[in-house]
Amino acid sequence: MSALKTITIRCFAELNDFLPSEKKQRSFALTAKEPVTVGEAIEILGIPLSEVDLVTVNGKPVGRSYRPLENDHLSVYPTFETFDISGLRTVQKKPLRVTRFILDAHLGKLARYLRMLGFDTLYRNDYSDEEIIEIAREEKRIILTRDKLLLRSPRVDHGYYVRAVEKHTQLREVVKKFDLYLQFRTFTRCMTCNATLLVKPKDAIRERIAPDIYDCYQEFYYCPSCDKLFWRGSHFERMERFIRDLIENKTGNDHPLKKDI
């Protein structure tokens, strides 16, 4: 019969979102049968390993295969995107060099906004969990989801549980979480299909647009996948103002123009 082992755990920041109220923002005891590893202890709590970047035992960084001793104290920290802790990181896989996403069925509106900012973002409302995981692994994409169970798969290397429900708040959350502010390449991707937009000379599209639009605007963009044309109209200008606000007010609330875009 396996012996019981009691360890003390404290989870920090947004990792508390996965815990019941009596365990949030405090140290608590976890009793488990031996042997138990750090990774197993985290999974027992229902926290996806893809959300964890650093674990310390009694103040010293350890890997997920470390087996805590009786009365050890574990501190579990979320993914750090804005601080360099590469010398301490023990759980998260090697960071991705290019920020690309794949989103689940709950985040269709967020997908459009990430594309608006220029991020390569895959989305289909009929992706299965296995398809999402496989594509993410093959194409080195970050999984964004509202499904906690999806992130608990041991095959997920890079994933994040989006806490917000409203689309603009979701965008602010993801941009802040992954510190994307310097990676914006606005209006370079089609918001509908994710294809890269091409700049089209006015003369090349004269026959495809109304004369008043042709006379009013100078820059036109073409989606080779959707076969659609775009120009910098009033909707475009509202989105630009929203993006400027996103950059200038990193901790602010939703933009007052949110109902228009």
- Per-residue pLDDT reduced to its tens digit, 36-76: 899 999 999 999 998 898 999 999 999 989 999 999 999 99
Q: Which residues contact 177 (CB under 8 A, 6 or more apart)?
A: 79, 81, 160
Q: Where are the domains of the chain?
A: 4-78, 101-189
In the CATH scheme, what is the code of domain 101-189?
3.40.50
Share in percent of the chain as helix, strand, coil (round to 5): 35, 20, 45
4-78 under CATH 3.10.20.30, yes or no: yes
* pLDDT tens sequence across 132-173: 999 999 999 999 999 999 999 989 989 999 999 999 999 999
**Nearest Cα residue to 100 out of 127, 131, 137, 128:** 137
Intrachain domains 4-78 and 101-189 with the same fold? no
pTM of whole model > 0.85?
no
